[in-house]
Amino acid sequence: GAVVSQHPSRVICKSGTSVKIECRSLDFQATTMFWYRQFPKQSLMLMATSNEGSKATYEQGVEKDKFLINHASLTLSTLTVTSAHPEDSSFYICSARGLADGELFFGEGSRLTVL
């Protein structure tokens, strides 16, 4: 199956700094990628849809200026958490949609801890 790689898997940062998380589709071109946030023992919350070459579409309640998404190529989308605060600590997961039937291919996830 298709492979999506996410980096870094873990990151610890100080409050007020910015953190960038990368999501790459390794063996297929993904015009659309999705970014999720997952709190402990909860389901995935869709944050935004990342579209190659255009602006991301954010879900209601997600701050665009806090969570910057860039999809500059068909194989790479990035999520930057700006001016991170402890409440931004979470598990962030990206996915890319397959062409045929809506199957999603997920990255390994990135655990962000903001001190």
Partner 1 sequence: AQSVTQLGSHVSVSEGALVLLRCNYSSSVPPYLFWYVQYPNQGLQLLLKYTTGATLVKGINGFEAEFKKSETSFHLTKPSAHMSDAAEYFCAVSPTGGFKTIFGAGTRLFVKA
Residues in contact with partner 1 by the rule CB under 8 A: 1, 4, 6, 9, 32, 34, 41-44, 46, 49, 91, 93, 95, 97, 101-109, 111
Residue corresponding to tokens 């990628």: 33
CB of 104 to partner 1, least distance (A): 6
Q: Which is nearer to partner 1, 61 or 102 (CB)?
A: 102
CB of 57 to partner 1, least distance (A): 10
**CA dist., res. 34 & res. 10, Å (int):** 19
CB of 102 to partner 1, least distance (A): 4
**Burial group, residue 62, by CB count within 10 angstroms (0-12, 13-18, 19+):** middle
Q: Tell me the three state secondary structure of residue 8.
A: coil
CB of 95 to partner 1, least distance (A): 8
Q: Which is nearer to partner 1, 62 or 104 (CB)?
A: 104
